[in-house]
């Protein structure tokens, strides 16, 4: 958490604070909905050129079909926030798109995290050259698979996907990206594919000097994509780590599915699940579930979509999604998720993500020892694994210092961590009684993701403990709008905190926030 680089974009009297995800002017934050902020961010980051509506929609709503009206509403929000009714800041070019009409400056990047004591690398999202933004899932999936393969080497320090993918489409010098992420090396590339072939370029650079260390071009049948991923991984490892055992190299190689379509469907579903918490309806879970089921139908022995399907069950069980109300807190939903997670581990015992998916479900079944064992096995298989859920589990198991240490360690691997991590930090600070730090972290999470119910539960309790009664009431109201049946008793039963002191402390805060018993 401490020491992460902050990148700001300055235009006129306005500042885009990318680390905090907010717009500022004259020393104060200006309210913007998350999607409106992302639209403004994309425009400002690409201030040197005209952006079509299609490009903006593809960048801000990847893998989601939206109408021009969604973009128009966001542009209206942006203009209102900027006071730009005269279009002096952002020009509308009729029938062509939008362009920022004022100079944009980037302050000198302050020193980011210090370089680790082992070779460090970030894999930037490979550029989709198909011309169709709907194919981003494919290039993203290849990039993510390379991240996963590299992460399995204990001798490497690999930045998490969530942070490295923040640089999609960014027109930045590789030295700046390396400084912000605190890594020595970057992997960049591009992907183009048609019905039968895939063409991948990969470029490996020294981020400290900008020097290209090597570049490769691959032109293969689609089914050869797994060999390409393995070749790229081996070449990076061969460049960075002189002495790795044969076992480690073999362990890192991807296990390809029997049918390429299974891999393609898995990538589609996985891309949708990355945006899960931004959709309170459950539509994204349903869409992802369909792709996972298609992947399993294509190859029933391919483990990733099986644990992906397990994740959709757990998501529907733990949060009240409008379109999945029949699955919320239902034993059958939870049991199906457990069965699928166990099957994915049976299919591929060496898949770290399958292990932690199973561990997470076992954690909510309060099978603590089994959950701990699966989490440990997942991190043994992938020392660079970034999974905030383990930090949350440690906190709720009463191991507060271990939980904080875990979250801070993986936040170094993921400098631009997701907002849920800030919620989990808020949990830890709350239990320690550091309410001011808890509320700061929870407010930041709420700004970045205003649809994540647990954030507002903890925010209401922290605000109430600090005597901020109006804020506590607003947060409680947000929870009850999402889940009218919420009670303190149900929340305590769901979590079953290991320490009675923790249970009593959160109950006290929720009562002060006037939640129903």
**DSSP code string of 86-135:** T-SSEEEETTTEEEE-S-EE-PPPPP-SPPPSS-EEEEPPPEE-SS-GGG
- Cβ(411)–Cβ(405) below 8 Å: no
Instruction: For residue 215, report the phi and psi dihedrals to the nearest 5 degrees.
Output: -145, 145
Where is pLDDT greater, at 40 or 118?
A: 40
Give the per-residue pLDDT at 5.
37
**Angle (CA) 109 443 457, round 5°:** 145
pTM of the predicted structure, to 2 decimals: 0.70
CATH T-level topology, domain 8-105 = Arc Repressor Mutant, subunit A (1.10.10)
In whole angstroms, what separates CA 286 from the centre of its chain?
A: 19
For 26, residues 6+ apart whose C-beta sits below 8 A from its C-beta are 13
Number of H helices, E strands in the chain: 22, 13
When pLDDT is cut at 50, 70 and 90, the band that residue 6 belongs to is very low
Architecture (CATH level 2) of domain 255-385? Alpha Horseshoe (1.25)
Residue 72: CB atoms within 10 A of its CB come to: 11
Kind of pairing between the strands at 120-123 and 157-158:
parallel
120-254 matches 418-517 in fold: no
Give the CATH superfamily of 120-254.
ABC-type transport auxiliary lipoprotein component (3.40.50.10610)
Structure tokens at 375: 């989490």
Per-residue pLDDT averaged across 223-237, rounded? 79
Give the per-residue pLDDT at 403.
94
Nearest C-alpha neighbor of 96 from the set 128, 49, 164: 49
Give the per-residue pLDDT at 429.
94
Structure tokens at 57: 């929609």
Lowest mean pLDDT among 6-20, 156-170, 319-333, 448-462: 6-20
Instruction: Strands of 151-283 (E only): list them.
Output: 157-158, 185-193, 197-206, 211-221
Residue 134: CB atoms within 10 A of its CB come to: 14
Question: Where in the chain are the domains?
Answer: 8-105, 120-254, 255-385, 418-517
Asked if pLDDT for residue 2 goes beyond 50, the answer is: no
What is the tens place of the pLDDT at every residue in 402-431? 999 999 888 888 888 888 899 999 999 999
Per-residue pLDDT averaged across 457-470, rounded? 95
Asked if pLDDT for residue 244 goes beyond 80, the answer is: no
Per-residue pLDDT averaged across 24-28, rounded? 78
CATH of domain 418-517: 1.25.40.10
Q: Residue holding tokens 């309806």?
A: 281
Percentage, residues of the chain above pLDDT 70: 92
Asked if pLDDT for residue 242 goes beyond 60, the answer is: no
Give the per-residue pLDDT at 247.
59
- Chain mean pLDDT for the chain: 87
């Amino acid at each position: 958490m401490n020491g992460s680089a902050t990148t700001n974009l300055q235009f006129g009297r306005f500042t885009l604070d990318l680390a905090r995800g907010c717009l500022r002017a004259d020393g104060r934050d200006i309210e913007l909905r998350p999607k409106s902020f992302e639209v403004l961010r994309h425009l400002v980051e690409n201030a040197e050129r005209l952006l079509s509506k299609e490009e903006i929609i593809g960048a801000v709503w990847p893998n989601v079909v939206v109408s021009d009206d969604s973009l128009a509403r966001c542009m209206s929000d942006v203009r209102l926030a900027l006071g730009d009714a005269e279009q002096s800041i952002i020009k509308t070019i009729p029938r062509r798109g939008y362009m920022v009409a004022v100079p944009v400056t980037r302050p000198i990047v302050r020193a980011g995290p210090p370089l680790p004591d082992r070779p460090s690398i970030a894999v930037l999202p490979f550029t989709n050259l198909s011309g169709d933004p709907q194919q981003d899932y494919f290039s993203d999936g290849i990039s993510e698979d390379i991240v996963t393969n590299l992460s399995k080497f204990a001798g490497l320090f690999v930045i998490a996907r969530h942070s490295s993918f923040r640089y999609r489409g960014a027109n930045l010098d590789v030295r700046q990206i390396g400084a912000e992420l605190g890594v020595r090396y970057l992997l960049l590339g591009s992907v183009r594919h048609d019905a039968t072939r895939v063409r991948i370029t990969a470029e490996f650079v020294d981020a400290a000097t900008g020097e290209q260390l090597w570049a490769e071009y691959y032109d293969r049948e689609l089914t050869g994509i797994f060999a390409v991923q393995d070749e790229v991984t081996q070449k990076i490892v061969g460049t960075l780590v002189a002495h790795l055992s044969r076992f480690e190299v073999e362990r890192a190689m991807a296990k390809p599915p029997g049918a390429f379509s299974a891999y393609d469907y898995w990538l589609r579903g996985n891309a949708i699940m990355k945006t899960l918490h931004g959709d309170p309806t459950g539509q994204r879970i349903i869409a992802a579930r369909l792709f996972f089921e298609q992947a399993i139908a294509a190859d029933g022995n391919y483990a990733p979509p099986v644990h992906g399907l397990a994740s959709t069950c757990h998501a529907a069980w733990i949060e009240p999604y409008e379109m999945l109300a029949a699955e919320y807190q239902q034993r059958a939903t939870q049991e199906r998720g457990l069965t699928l997670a166990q099957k994915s581990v049976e299919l591929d015992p060496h898949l770290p993500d399958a292990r932690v998916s199973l561990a997470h479900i076992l954690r909510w079944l309060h099978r603590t020892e089994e959950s701990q064992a699966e989490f440990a096995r997942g991190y043994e298989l992938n020392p660079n694994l970034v999974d905030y859920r383990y930090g949350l589990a440690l906190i709720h198991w009463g191991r507060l210092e271990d939980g904080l240490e875990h979250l801070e360690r993986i936040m170094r691997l993921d400098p631009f961590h997701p907002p849920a991590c800030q919620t989990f930090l808020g949990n830890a600070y709350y239990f320690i009684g550091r309410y001011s730090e808890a509320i700061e972290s929870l407010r930041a999470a709420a700004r970045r993701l205003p649809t994540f119910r647990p954030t507002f539960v903890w925010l209401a309790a922290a605000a109430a403990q600090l005597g901020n009664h109006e804020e506590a009431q607003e947060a409680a109201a947000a929870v009850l709008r999402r889940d009218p049946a919420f009670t303190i008793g149900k929340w305590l039963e769901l979590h079953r905190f290991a320490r009675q002191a923790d249970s009593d402390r959160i109950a006290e805060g929720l009562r002060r926030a006037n939640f129903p018993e």
